[in-house]
A = this chain, B = another copy of it.
Amino acid sequence: MRSARPLLLCLVLFAVVNDVALGTKDSELKRCKHQCEALQKISEHQRAECYEKCEKYHSGKQQKQQKEEEDTYSLFPYRGREEEEVQETENNPYVFEDEHFITGIKTQHGRIRVLPKFTERSKLLKGIENYRFVFLEANPQTFVVPNHWDADAVLFVAQGRGTLNLVRKGKRNSFNIRPGDVVRVHAGTTAYLINRDNNENLLIAKLLRPVSAPGQFEHFFGPGGRENPESFYSAFSSEILEAALNTRRDRLQRLLGQQREGVIIRASEEQIRVMSQHEEGGIWPFGGESKGLVNIYRQRPSQSNQYGQFYEVDGSHYKQLEDLDISLSFGNITQGGMLGPIYSSRATKIAVVVDGEGYFEMACPHLASESGRRQGSESGRETRIGSSYQKVHSRLRRGMVLVIPAGHPFVTVASNNQNLQVACFNLNARDNEIVPLAGRNNVMSLLEREAMELGFGLPAREVEQIFRSQQEEFFFQGPGGRQSGRADA
């Protein structure tokens, strides 16, 4: 039923629409529309489209919710339907689907989709408001026009084969890139890209840390024209440009008057061929592992069994990540397998579903405390003191993005018919520890017997038995592959 293909996947993942939770529907709709406006450089037309999306998304949500409620099943007696409903109507700010992106740049040959500032989604994400997330998608045999950003960036190649050019400190470096590659791009570097494949789209996930205004960044295009893209040269007076470039005005007008096909454009086969072949800089993978990038799939997995593999890249593998305090991880959960429950001791994860399907659960005290008041007043119970947690639940699909804050226990489950692959950008990565809550060496099994007894109110022997039954580590057989009640140790 499940084969342990040596594929890849990670930690974290994505929300079924009915968990995205409505809050008051009106306020979320309002927020959604607000995001349309917040997008910089959006045209009227795009805004209209964006608004429409909001409307559609929200009406769709109500319908789906109806359906999902019927699908919901709860085996745990004290996690009943009633509580689930509370959860479904509260907001889940940790999950991002297509609807949450805004198309920053779009041509017939590809698109660049940008997540709004995380704090526009929820105040709970204030800790990562200084980061931005972008998906770049380029069709086969296309060219992304040279530009620089006022942000440091880490790129993860999710799909396709391309060539990346980086111009920095008076030198140009070229890299042939392929899935699993991780590249750090310094703020202000002029970068351009080709998709050199004939068939497959090139898909790159990009984490940005703006250097200028927190959480805000811009693309600066040198090449371009008067518009689409506009060249920043065209913002200068013509007498300035004439003097600086020592060139006649008519030539400048010609230079800046041609290109208007957009940021991602079609390249000829010959152009692709030439740009894929040059040897300048370290063309990877020829000539040994270049320092310019690293491939996460080529690392030795830090966790591996029949249910999955886990790979990591940090400053010790790729020095350029060090000053950013960012690491990357990649998990491949075999079909029918699961990862966790675990938590990160200090890193917040921004996770991208690279391939496959499945679902995700996380225990969140913040959402619980927000909804707690209401629950309390409804039920009339006033005795609860201490922490409580709300389950964040989400289906996972390709292209979804998920935020998992430090300290929050979570679990990821692959569907029964496909491996689930997830790449994670880990922010605040230095000294981070992944803490296991089940399986070998789980943290509960390390407590003293007296602490078990007092903590759970049960004889230590019983507690030990439960927390030492699972022999695997990190990746386990998922719930779908088990007959309920069968596999007790």
Contact = CB atoms under 8 A, between A and B. Distances in A.
Top 5 A-B pairs, shortest CB-CB distance: A188-B345, A223-B455, A150-B407, A258-B457, A235-B363
Interface residues of A, number: 176
Nearest to A189: B345
B385 A228 contact: yes
A482 B237 CA distance: 14
A489 interface: yes
A150 B267 CA distance: 49
A200 interface: no
Interface stretch (A16-24, A132-140, A296-304, A473-481): A473-481
A140 B111 CA distance: 63
A243 B455 contact: no
A75 B249 contact: yes
A404 to B, nearest CB: 10
Contact of A369 (B41, B245, B255): B41
A471 B413 CA distance: 62
13 contacts: A41-B372, A143-B454, A150-B346, A170-B446, A186-B345, A188-B345, A188-B433, A234-B389, A236-B363, A240-B479, A245-B470, A246-B476, A247-B470
Contacts of A390: 235
Interface in A139-186: 143, 145-150, 152, 165, 167-172, 186
Contacts of A212: 127, 348, 405-407
Contacts of A70: none
Given A186-B345, A363-B236, A386 B230 contact: yes
B456 A259 contact: yes
Interface in A439-489: 439, 441, 443-444, 446-448, 450-458, 462-463, 465-467, 469-471, 476-479, 481-482, 484-485, 487-489
Contact of A456 (B223, B242, B365): B223
A246 B465 CA distance: 10
Interface string A85-107: 00000000000000000000111
Nearest to A489: B246
What's the number of copies of this chain in the assembled complex?
3
Given A407-B218, A441-B170, A377 B44 contact: yes
Contacts of A251: 462, 465-466, 488
B237 A75 contact: yes
B455 A192 contact: yes
Contacts of A241: 76, 438
Contacts of A259: 455-457
Contacts of A172: 446-448
A346 B373 CA distance: 41
A222 B391 contact: no
Given A188-B435, A225-B457, 19 more contacts: A40-B366, A41-B368, A77-B253, A78-B226, A78-B234, A148-B345, A150-B405, A187-B407, A219-B365, A228-B384, A229-B387, A242-B482, A243-B476, A243-B478, A244-B476, A246-B471, A255-B463, A262-B385, A271-B450
A126 B43 contact: no
Contacts of A331: none
A145 B455 contact: yes
A312 to B, nearest CB: 16
A63 interface: no
Nearest to A413: B240
A357 interface: no
Contact of A382 (B43, B372, B431, B458): B43
Interface string A55-80: 00000000000000000001111110
Contact of A75 (B192, B238, B340, B471): B238
